[in-house]
Amino acid sequence: MKPITSKILLPETGFLRLSSIIGDRKSDPPIPALIPVSRSTWLAGVKSGRFPKSIKLGPRITVWRVEDIRSLIHESQVSG
Domain locations along the chain = 15-79
Contacts of 25 (CB under 8 A, 6+ apart): 31
* pLDDT level of residue 68 (50, 70, 90 thresholds): very high
Q: Supply the pLDDT for residue 79.
A: 77
Segment holding 34, helix H or strand E: none
Per residue in 10-41, pLDDT (tens digit) is 889 999 999 999 999 999 999 999 999 999 99
Per residue in 48-60, pLDDT (tens digit) is 999 999 999 999 9
Q: Supply the pLDDT for residue 60.
A: 96
Q: Say how far residue 21 (Cα) sits from the centre of its chain.
A: 3
Share of the chain above pLDDT 90, in %: 78
* Contact between residue 42 and residue 18 where contact means Cβ atoms under 8 Å apart: yes
Contacts of 74 (CB under 8 A, 6+ apart): none
Question: What global pTM score does this model have?
Answer: 0.84
